[in-house]
Homo-oligomer: A and B are copies of this chain.
Amino acid sequence: MKMDAKQLPLADITVLDLSRILAGPYCTMILADMGATVYKIENPDGGDDSRNFGPYVKGESAYFGSINRNKLSLTLNLKHPKAKALLLEMVKLADVVVENFRPGTMERLGLGYETLSEINPRIIYAAVSGFGHSGPYMMKPGYDIVAQAMSGLMSITGHPGGPPTRVGASVGDITGGMFATIGILAALHERKTSGVGQKVDVGLLDSQIAILENAVTRYMTTGEIPTRVGNRHPSITPFTAMGTADGHVILAIGNDGLWVKFCEAVDAPALAADERFRTNPLRTEHWGDLEPLLAPIFAQRKTAEWIEFLEARGIPCGPINTIDKVVADPQVQARRMIRSVEHPVAGPLPVTALPIKMSRTPVDEEFRVAPGLGHDTGDVLRELLGLSDQELEELRRAGAI
């Protein structure tokens, strides 16, 4: 049941994944995609909550399926001493433990980093939590939308005069999971020299602050509180969505040379000559004057016409796609970003591929279907820890697995 992934970059790495829902599972999804053997440890009483998140296909959660491909599932009731003992045995054989409980939960289970690192000093222990494992909010529950809101990201997303806006995907959880992945891989690298593991502590709030780009810098250097500026970039202009005759087109003019080229393309020498718009800082400062001059130009053509027109003239642009357009896009298909895995009950389930193409150890050739709850418990405990069928039966009867 150890996955046959010898040639993948993390094929020699074993991960015990105690995480649920999204932030931790996204981290272990990346590790599993890259060839790590990920043992997803779930409570026998229903397992990962996201097994009950829609959309469903024939009763199976496609949500769970998309995030948990390439993993193995073991049921262990960690409150049962025999299950806990089995987990501690597995820790001896593992490289990485990932959890996203509230701080203190693992310690209460007798599975805190101190305990695990005594059993296996090489273990790398990654904890993803709302606020991290220190500070006054440490014990508060933290979720994606809370991190998006408290970090300031929602306050700078949205349109002028409109309400603060949540990003339409759970970027709080997902970027937290990505930073945890980076921390784990860095700790694995360092372990090759030191021989010792360590704890990697990632907070969702911290992670959202780290992706704010220049909002913190702008506030701290100017004293002005960044606001919602709609679809434009706060300091590059025009780098925004413009309304067309039938929708929007993205216009991405990142430097003054492109600006001149654009003015020529749309036959607007007055714009090119206008001192207010000569440089990027000037265009940003005078966007209030510039937008009303650009709007009637863009209203003249449909989106598809604008894209053909601008592309032919070397002006960076693009459509705003809805998800159906994304799935059908020839580039997305050529890059094989949308895949299908065959589920024994649900049939084909869609998954999104890992966006990392590696030339010698391609990490996205094949995706294995997400495991049913406890699908691999027997195989793993037999092969990894040498348990007999009778022992497994007793553990099952005792409610330990």
Residue in B134, B219, B281 whose beta carbon sits within 8 Å of that of A54 in the complex: B281
Residue in B217, B252, B320 whose beta carbon sits within 8 Å of that of A66 in the complex: B217
With a cutoff of 8 Å between Cβ atoms, the chain B residues found around residue A209 in the complex are 326, 332, 337-338, 352, 355
Residue in B168, B190, B233 whose beta carbon sits within 8 Å of that of A157 in the complex: B168
* Cβ–Cβ contact A190 & B331, under 8 A: no
* Cβ–Cβ contact B181 & A182, under 8 A: yes
Residue in B145, B337, B338 whose beta carbon sits within 8 Å of that of A240 in the complex: B145
* Cβ–Cβ contact A319 & B149, under 8 A: yes
Residues 176-194 (chain A) with a chain B CB within 8 angstroms? 176, 178-183, 185-190, 192-194
Residue in B153, B178, B217, B324 whose beta carbon sits within 8 Å of that of A63 in the complex: B217
Mark interface residues in A339-363 (1 if CB within 8 Å of B CB, else 0). Answer: 0000000000111111111111101
* Cβ–Cβ contact A214 & B145, under 8 A: no
* Cβ–Cβ contact A250 & B157, under 8 A: no
Most buried by B among A186, A200, A357: A186
Shortest Cβ gap from A105 to chain B (Å): 15
With a cutoff of 8 Å between Cβ atoms, the chain B residues found around residue A150 in the complex are 250, 318-321, 326, 329
Interface residue A1 (Cβ < 8 Å from any Cβ of B): no
Shortest Cβ gap from A95 to chain B (Å): 11
Residues 58-92 (chain A) with a chain B CB within 8 angstroms? 62-63, 65-66
* Cβ–Cβ contact A156 & B169, under 8 A: yes
Interface residue A12 (Cβ < 8 Å from any Cβ of B): yes
Residue in B143, B189, B357 whose beta carbon sits within 8 Å of that of A252 in the complex: B143
Most buried by B among A205, A338, A358: A358
Ordered by A's residue number, 15 sampled pairs between the chains whose C-beta atoms are within 8 Å are A10-B190, A49-B255, A53-B214, A65-B217, A132-B335, A143-B239, A149-B319, A153-B169, A170-B213, A171-B171, A179-B356, A192-B192, A201-B358, A209-B352, A217-B352
Most buried by B among A141, A165, A254, A327: A165
Most buried by B among A169, A170, A174, A178: A169
Interface residue A317 (Cβ < 8 Å from any Cβ of B): yes
Q: A163-B159, A221-B57 are in contact. Are A188 and B189 (CB under 8 A)?
A: yes
* A133–B52 alpha-carbon span in the complex (Å): 38
* Cβ–Cβ contact B200 & A236, under 8 A: no
With a cutoff of 8 Å between Cβ atoms, the chain B residues found around residue A232 in the complex are 166
With a cutoff of 8 Å between Cβ atoms, the chain B residues found around residue A53 in the complex are 214, 235-236
Interface residue A311 (Cβ < 8 Å from any Cβ of B): yes
* Cβ–Cβ contact B206 & A169, under 8 A: no
Interface residue A106 (Cβ < 8 Å from any Cβ of B): no
Q: A57-B221, A316-B146 are in contact. Are A359 and B189 (CB under 8 A)?
A: no
Q: A252-B145, A326-B150, A360-B198 are in contact. Are A355 and B203 (CB under 8 A)?
A: yes
With a cutoff of 8 Å between Cβ atoms, the chain B residues found around residue A270 in the complex are none
Residue on B nearest A235 in the bound complex, by CB: B54
Q: A163-B241, A168-B229 are in contact. Are A183 and B358 (CB under 8 A)?
A: yes
Residue in B66, B327, B355 whose beta carbon sits within 8 Å of that of A206 in the complex: B355
Q: A9-B190, A207-B355, A255-B49 are in contact. Are A168 and B178 (CB under 8 A)?
A: no
